[in-house]
Amino acid sequence: MTNPVYRAERTGLLLVDPYNDFLSNGGKVFPMIKAIADDVRLLDNLRATVATVREADIQVFYVPHRRWQPGDYDNWDHPNPTQRLIQQRHTFANGTWGGEWHPDFVPQEGDIVIQEHWGQSGFANTNLDFQLKQQGITHVIVVGLLANTCIESTSRFAMELGYHVTLVRDATAAFTREMMHAAHELNGPTFAHEILTTVELIAALPPESHGDHA
């Protein structure tokens, strides 16, 4: 792929679903992704990406999944399979530890927390596109979970809306290696402009804050 230029004032980091249920020991979903998360050093890479982005004065957008509440999906005509599992497991339950941010990824002053998405796309039925446009963002870097669901769906939607999309293959995880392979080797190249490692991404980002991002 090309060597992209990530201008701080035009770039946004989309941090998808950094909940305890996904990222912390004791989380409801964490055991299902732990092997791959450990293999790719997910938490270390997320920490490095977020820290570097903040140093470069790039806007951070939190793109959170719906936090389950009693009654969610109960009378829906066609909840999808993931939503049925959330309904059973009460994943990311509102008001519980599992539905809180992982302690290393708590929003900071100036971060933008997007409306919670019900399905897999962070754009569908939320204000993400509006907020990106208001901030003048043209390039999005998408990290978090899961590689073949919310990351893929959000990134595809971003491409359709005209954004430059970067995936980070080791700042995400999935339930199986086959899912990771599909996300980055089969499906990702059909919509993403860049598919990088964390090291490659950090090397491509502005080295320091210039104080010019409003």
CATH, residue 39: 3.40.50.850
Does a structural domain hold residue 100? yes
Does a structural domain hold residue 200? yes
State the total domains in the chain. 1
Environment class of 171 (CB within 10 Å of its CB; exposed 0-12, middle 13-18, buried 19+): buried
> Where are the alpha helices (H) located in 28-80, listed in sequence order?
30-40, 42-55
Nearest-angstrom CA–CA distance, 124 and 122: 6
Q: What's the mean pLDDT in 183-206?
A: 97
Q: What is the pLDDT of residue 211?
A: 47
Q: What are phi and psi of 195, to 5 degrees?
A: -130, 105
Does a structural domain hold residue 3? no
Dump pLDDT digits (tens) for 72-118: 999 999 999 999 999 999 999 999 999 999 999 999 999 999 999 99
Q: What is the pLDDT of residue 209?
A: 55
Does a structural domain hold residue 210? no
Does a structural domain hold residue 1? no
Which pLDDT band, with edges at 50, 70 and 90, does 207 fall under? confident
Nearest-angstrom CA–CA distance, 47 and 15: 11
Place of tokens 């050093």: 41
- On average, the pLDDT of the chain sits at 95
Nearest to 69 by CA among 99, 38, 46: 99
Q: What is the pLDDT of residue 5?
A: 84
Nearest-angstrom CA–CA distance, 9 and 209: 10
Does a structural domain hold residue 58? yes
Q: What is the domain extent for residue 51?
A: 8-204
Does a structural domain hold residue 103? yes
Check pLDDT > 50 for residue 26. Answer: yes
Does a structural domain hold residue 209? no
Which pLDDT band, with edges at 50, 70 and 90, does 16 fall under? very high
